[in-house]
Amino acid sequence: MELIYVDHAATTPVHPEVIEAMLPLMTGHFGNASSTHQAGREARAALNRSRDTIASFIGCKPSELVFTSGGTESDNSALFSVAEAYQSRGKHIITTEIEHHAVLHACEHLERMGYEVTYLPVDQRGQIRLSDLEAAIRPDTILISVMYGNNEVGTLQPIEAIGELARSRGIVFHSDAVQALGHVDIDLQRLPVDLMSFSAHKLGGPKGVGALYISKHVRFQPLLYGGTQERKRRAGTENTAGIAGFAKAVQIYSRSKYELQQNLEKLRQGFIQQLEERLGKEGFVVNGHPEERLAHIVNISFPGISTETMLMNLDLAGIAASSGSACTSGSLEVSHVLKAMQLPDEVTRSAIRFSFGGSNDFEQIVYVARQIETITGRLRNTV
């Protein structure tokens, strides 16, 4: 049975060109980028080219980009760094109830260290209210951390407006853009953002590689100590091959971004249309913002059928989807994102995240919708 993979928000298949770009740095040019001999210089040159490519894609200076092991380290580094570097000004942090656990759990740890954290609520479409953010700001607020696009429902936050408010109050602003990279235009020369987190494996790059944008105006305390790599901001030998793969993935997205986004939007809309034709508009619920959203993510509830039951049946049909964040997909708990959106229990307990990518086509989407029709028909008739 051919696997139909509609879980690209969890991870994406590594693009063949990415593998091709990585291989030379794992075989012939395997030197340590910190070594001064020829092999080291070759690795350093490849690292610099990769940094330039990614920095250009997101509109920042190469010196403002620090490579990490992924989105979790980038998020942790941003939060813990600001907390330490600015603690003389205050110990209050603002985030949202729907952040990735790499932010939420870091904030919980900061609370145990004596910091105060305000968790902003969201509306039923998954967006914060700017009035709530403004009301939450205190004289001792040192950091605001709000994700760009949600990894479970795809809702986009008003990042520019949040950043402008933060700047007007002299507060550092961090945004987790792991899910947004490649799917929305990011220009850090224009956006009022001080720190932004990225990960390679969400856009056809390898796992275990990420990046953190750090504005030159921000004080930064490293999370890791050891060597002087990454301008003393992230100790440890750089994953040169992985970083080169990250850069190649960015190049691929850059050259075909418009076509990819158009295709993803067509797949999303086509999928919803197929479900409407097969289940009726009352047979499912689409969660998230209808317009201000990422094109590749659609979160759908099938009231009356539990998330676990639907996922199991989809898996038996050769379809890989998820209940939301891959980091919690092994848990039977209801999504914290859907809880925060205050949706009815029948909606939160039956939600499935479908996320599309370049490996999907319309024929696959029709197959998934057909299988859902069969599954829902069988299960609802037996309830």
**All structural domains of the chain with their residue ranges:** 4-12+257-382, 16-251
Contacts of 27 (CB under 8 A, 6+ apart): none
Nearest-angstrom CA–CA distance, 94 and 79? 11
Number of other residues whose CB lies within 10 A of the CB of residue 111? 13
Catalytic residue from among 137, 327, 366, 379: 327
pLDDT at 98: 98
Q: Give the CATH fold of the 16-251 domain.
A: Aspartate Aminotransferase; domain 2 (3.40.640)
Residue 134 has pLDDT above 60, yes or no: yes
Nearest-angstrom CA–CA distance, 68 and 102? 14
Nearest-angstrom CA–CA distance, 340 and 57? 33
pLDDT-based confidence at residue 332 (cuts at 50, 70, 90):
low
pLDDT at 28: 83
pLDDT-based confidence at residue 382 (cuts at 50, 70, 90):
low
Residue 302 has pLDDT above 80, yes or no: yes
Residue 326 has pLDDT above 70, yes or no: no
Contacts of 318 (CB under 8 A, 6+ apart): 1, 2, 3, 4
Say if CB 340 and CB 98 are below 8 A apart.
Answer: yes
Higher pLDDT, 141 or 256: 141
Residue 329 has pLDDT above 80, yes or no: no
Residue 52 has pLDDT above 90, yes or no: yes
pLDDT at 330: 53
The dihedral built from the CA positions of residue 312, 313, 315 and 319, taken in this order, carries a sign that is negative
Say if CB 26 and CB 241 are below 8 A apart.
Answer: yes
Q: Which of 165, 143, 289, 160 is nearest to 218 (CA)?
A: 143
Nearest-angstrom CA–CA distance, 199 and 10? 11
Say if CB 284 and CB 301 are below 8 A apart.
Answer: yes
Say if CB 36 and CB 27 are below 8 A apart.
Answer: no
* CATH classification for the domain delimited by 4-12+257-382, as one of 3.90.1150.10, 3.40.640.10, 3.40.50.970, 3.30.70.1400: 3.90.1150.10
In this predicted model, what pLDDT tens digit does every residue of 278-289 receive, in sequence order?
Answer: 999 999 999 999
Tell me, yes or no, if 60 is annotated catalytic. no
Exposed/middle/buried for 136, CB within 10 Å: 0-12, 13-18, 19+? middle
pLDDT at 33: 84
Among residues of the chain, what percentage have pLDDT more than 90?
Answer: 89
Task: Enter the pTM of the model.
Answer: 0.95
pLDDT-based confidence at residue 108 (cuts at 50, 70, 90):
very high
Residue 342 has pLDDT above 70, yes or no: yes
pLDDT at 380: 80
Residue 327 has pLDDT above 80, yes or no: no
Amino acid type, 130: L
101-115, 157-171, 248-262: least confidently modelled range? 248-262
User: How crowded is the C-beta side of 156, counted as CA atoms within 13 Å?
Assistant: 17
